[in-house]
Amino acid sequence: MGEHCYWEGDEIQWRVYYLSLEYYMGRSLTNTMINLGIQSACDEALYQLGLDIEELEALEEDAGLGNGGLGRLAACFLDSMATLGMAAYGYGIRYEYGIFAQKIKNGEQVEEPDDWLRFGNPWEKARPEYMIPVNFYGRVEDTPQGKKWVDTQIVFAMPYDNPIPGYKNNVVNTMRLWSAKSTNNFDLKFFNDGDYIQAVLDRNQSENISRVLYPNDNFFEGKELRLNRVSCGPTLQHHQASGSVAQIVRTSSTLPTVALQLNDTHPSMAIPELMRILMDIEGLTWARAWDICVKTCAYTNHTVLPEALERWPTSMLEHILPRHLQIIYEINHHHLQEVAKRWPGDMDRMGRMSLVEEHGEKRINMAHLAIVGAHAVNGVAAIHSEIIKRDLFQGLLRDRFQNKTNGITPRRWLLLCNPTLADAVAEKIGEEWVVHLDQLTKLKPLVNDSGFLRIIQVTKQENKMRLAKQLEQDYGVKINPSSMFDIQVKRIHEYKRQLLNCMHIITLYNRIKANPGGSFVPRTVMIGGKAAPGYHTAKQIIRLICSVAQVVNNDPIVGDRLKVIYLENYRVTLAEQIIPAADLSEQLSTAGTEASGTGNMKFMLNGALTIGTLDGANIEMMEEMGRENIFIFGMTVEEVEELKRTGYDARSYYDKLPELRQCVDQIDSGFFSPNNPDQFKDLVNILMNHDRFYLFADYESYIKCQDEVNKLYQKPNEWAKKALLNIASSGKFSSDRTISEYGREIWGVEPSWEKLPAPHEPRETEDK
Ligand code: 26W
């Protein structure tokens, strides 16, 4: 888009750089055709050639360069920034292998490498002319001109550019992904030793940096991994930070016209790296460099789970990035002086607020670094932002804290994945909702329009039939297409409480078995998601769900009243097929643990009803649609904290609730694992003795709430009204709204709407 953008401040050439270690893009073909406004033309052209566009689409591999929510959010944001005409760049890493492919074999997760580049990537363009050298290791020398980082080893960062088209606005932004490329300077020692072959082989080592995405979601591993892997973490981040920052300094003369948005702490080495470049290379004073750095950087926090927070051992940083560690110490020195000024003599507080953790192995708390080095810190839903303001940095720098409730792009998550519903909506309110999702409120009066309700129902039914056919092919399970499609898809994690869902399934099963002739609301429960390969408990949860499915699906008494499917290899492309077919969306996290959630929003936009806790963005969804249109259960954040204070006793619930007891006893005794009765003892032990997420405390409320869900499902008209009100209330959750807020309140760029071309009216290009 050249030098011009549709945002005020054109003259000073505003640029936003979104720094993320993950971009969970999925496929690009359909999205590109839609945003360019050429979908039907392409469809027609292929048809004329006797080809089927859907077959072509199915050939594309997902770009799975992300784990879950954080990576998919980055992808939605790129779409919104381009659609809003912002001069924004996404910077990330071009992993040779994305998130592993999940196979379910004998009810167990097996990982296969995701060799997504095997047949090439038609969307990317290598830019060797913009390659940048990145330094590692070495030592710092004091010279009269200041600190000098010497004897370093160099790895090149090779950029690959990927187009990000805005929606029908003639804007195409860039996602630039860096790949590690070794230098040509072979270690001469090897030459002299005559070990030429070894020297060539060693070249590959440094290219491991961008080899594979780490599959951990919400879990930081700083030490346990093998040494080369361990150094890969900060190295990768430094690699990205350095490549990006050097590029930024090169293209912008006056720095604070650049905004660097840090997607969690993962790219937070950008802070000391920017300081290093400004001081050691550009020759600025500390004060001047620090002023620029803080004005430039902003940090988004995406999780409060303590085990997910990055804390790198100083011993590793010392070895790999000695100059950066020095700078971090100096940042900390200045920071602690401020703390001491504000709370004189409060050594306890100094310890808590320090960037350096001294108890046990000495580590750098990267969240503290990011907060100190950024002018804005934001959470991703209102409740989450309140929690981080209170807990992450009690009291200090409070004025930096903001909220930016997450959103999703309506292009991919309605227009692309649910064309029938998109058409039905457009038929009633026109097409402006695609770029102004608020307009969906215009559907609200139609809640009494029986014709439109019928269309909503029929659309959902068509989507369900299509999915059912696919599932029967894939899993060989007969699906009752009039059963309620009850879906929980997300990474497998204890805090997300897939086990609570599983306990509900078992409870339903027991009720059918106890009353075989009774009438039950038929359900097809689908659960999908990947477990981190090293997360034993999450893998056990998958096994349990598969074992329960085995028993339930093969019990003739149950018939078509209950079916359980474990959806293999959940990913962006599968989400696009599943979400439009959902009746019920399960959002079960313990209150206070799910920062926002974005899957919840995708289901809402596609007319599923939600059963969920008062956590993350569920709360704001409820506020938008009204409490009567969502199924809320369980403890509030305050109640969870109270329970934690007073002591949680799982056994008291087990003793009190017979249906819970029966279900736990069955899991424990091997009812679902007759060949290995001890299979699930560990899970039961966690639930009974060490459950950080209080499943039993919410069990009764959850089951009662599910009974209400069943009652409503028996009144299809009432259900459809609520589905419509869900769709009509989802406008707030467009990532266009989220990005406008980042622009206005963090980056300082105001949208100039009048300059935006109306959809469907491409403006004349003024190419130079
Ligand atoms: C270093 C290991 C690691 C890897 C990934 C730690 C933490 C993460 C992510 C921050 C986890 C994540 O994806 N968080 C999710 O972010 C979404 C987007 O804001 C939120 O909607 C989800 O609630 C949150 O879990």
pTM of the model: 0.95
Look at residue 232 in the predicted model and tell me its pLDDT: 39
pLDDT band at 231 (very low <50, low <70, confident <90, very high): very low
Question: Does residue 399 carry a pLDDT above 90?
Answer: yes
Q: What number of residues does the chain have?
A: 768
| C-alpha to C-alpha distance for 600 and 604, rounded to whole angstroms | 6
Place of tokens 């920034």: 81
The reply to whether domains 15-27+62-406+744-754 and 413-733 share a CATH topology is yes
132-136/153-165 β-pairing: antiparallel
Q: Find out if CATH 3.30.70.260 is the number for domain 15-27+62-406+744-754.
A: no
**Whether residue 8 has pLDDT greater than 80:** no
Domain residue extents for the chain: 15-27+62-406+744-754, 413-733
Query: Which of 232-241, 482-491, 717-726 shows the lowest mean pLDDT across its residues?
Result: 232-241
pLDDT value for 528: 98
- Whether ligand 1 lies within 6 angstroms of the CB of 218 is answered as yes
Q: What is the pLDDT of residue 197?
A: 78
Whether the CB of 67 sits within 6 Å of ligand 1: yes
Place of tokens 């040509």: 184
224, 302, 380, best to mutate for ligand 1 pocket (most atoms within 8 Å of CB)? 302
CA distance 217 to 305: 11
pLDDT tens per residue, range 75-90: 999 999 999 999 999 9
CB 425 within 8 A of CB 433: yes
CA-based radius of gyration for the chain? 27
pLDDT digits (tens, 9 = 90+) for 592-611: 999 999 999 999 999 999 99
Spatial distance between the Cα atoms of 244 and 258, rounded to a whole number of angstroms? 12
Q: List pLDDT tens digits, range 647-666.
A: 999 999 999 999 999 999 99
Is the CB of 597 within 6 Å of ligand 1? yes
Question: For the segment 113-168, what is each residue's pLDDT rounded down to a tens digit?
Answer: 999 999 999 999 999 998 888 888 899 999 998 899 999 988 888 999 999 999 99
Q: pLDDT category, 767, cuts 50, 70, 90?
A: very low
Secondary-structure percent of the chain, ordered helix, strand, coil, rounded to 5 = 50, 15, 30
Please tell us whether the domain made up of 413-733 is placed in CATH 3.40.50.2000: yes
**What is the reported pLDDT for 165?**
98
Give catalytic residues, as residue numbers. 302, 490-491, 496, 598, 602
From the list 31, 29, 172, 25, the residue with the least C-alpha distance to 93 is 25
Ligand 1 atom showing the smallest separation from residue 73 Cα: 18
Residue closest by Cα to atom 21 of ligand 1: 597
Handedness of CA 378, 380, 383, 384 (dihedral sign): negative
Could you tell me the CA-to-CA distances from 339 to 272, 356, 400, 756 in Å, in that order? 20, 14, 15, 46
Burial group, residue 462, by CB count within 10 angstroms (0-12, 13-18, 19+): middle
- Average pLDDT on 410-433 reads 98
**b vs e for 294-307, b when ≥16 Cβ sit within 10 Å of the residue's Cβ?**
bbbbbbbbbbbbee
Question: Collapsing DSSP states into helix, strand and coil, what is residue 615?
Answer: coil
If you ran DSSP here, which 8-state letter would residue 758 be given?
A: P
Whether 763 shows a pLDDT value over 60: the answer reads no
Tell me, using a 6 A CB cutoff, whether residue 300 lines ligand 1: no
Distance 70 CA to ligand 1 centre (A): 5
Query: Residue 64 — pLDDT band, cuts 50, 70, 90?
Result: very high
Q: If you measure from the C-alpha of residue 627 to the centroid of ligand 1, how many angstroms do you get, rounded to a whole number?
A: 27
* pLDDT for position 683: 98
Which residue type does 707 have? D
3-class SS string, 665-687: HHHHHCCCCCCCCCCCHHHHHHH
CB 13 within 8 A of CB 252: yes
From atom 17 of ligand 1, which residue's Cα is the shortest distance away? 69
Q: Going by CA atoms, what residue is nearest to atom 7 of ligand 1? A: 218
Q: Which residue has the higher pLDDT, 257 or 122?
A: 122
Structure confidence at residue 1 (pLDDT): 33
Q: Could you tell me where the DSSP H helices lie in 162-298?
A: 188-193, 196-207, 227-251, 270-276, 286-296
* 378 ligand 1 Cβ < 6 A: no
Distance 578 CA to ligand 1 centre (A): 22
Mean predicted lDDT score pLDDT of the chain: 91
The values of phi and psi at residue 50, to 5°, are: 75, 20
Does residue 230 carry a pLDDT above 50? no
Cα(303) to centroid(ligand 1), Å: 6
Q: What is the pLDDT of residue 501?
A: 99
Q: Which atom of ligand 1 is nearest to the CA of 219?
A: 2
The region of weakest confidence among 234-248, 274-288, 331-345, 704-718 is 234-248
Distance 304 CA to ligand 1 centre (A): 9
The residue whose CA is least distant from atom 22 of ligand 1 is: 597
- pLDDT class of 221 with cuts at 50, 70, 90: confident
- Contact present, 259 and 17 (Cβ < 8 Å): yes
State the pLDDT confidence band at 764, using cuts at 50, 70 and 90: very low
Q: What is the DSSP-derived secondary structure letter of residue 417?
A: T
pLDDT confidence of 754, banded at 50, 70, 90?
very low
Are 586 and 613 contacting, i.e. CB atoms less than 8 angstroms apart?
no
Residue nearest to atom 9 of ligand 1 (CA): 218
Instruction: Indicate whether residue 738 lines ligand 1 (CB < 6 A).
Output: no
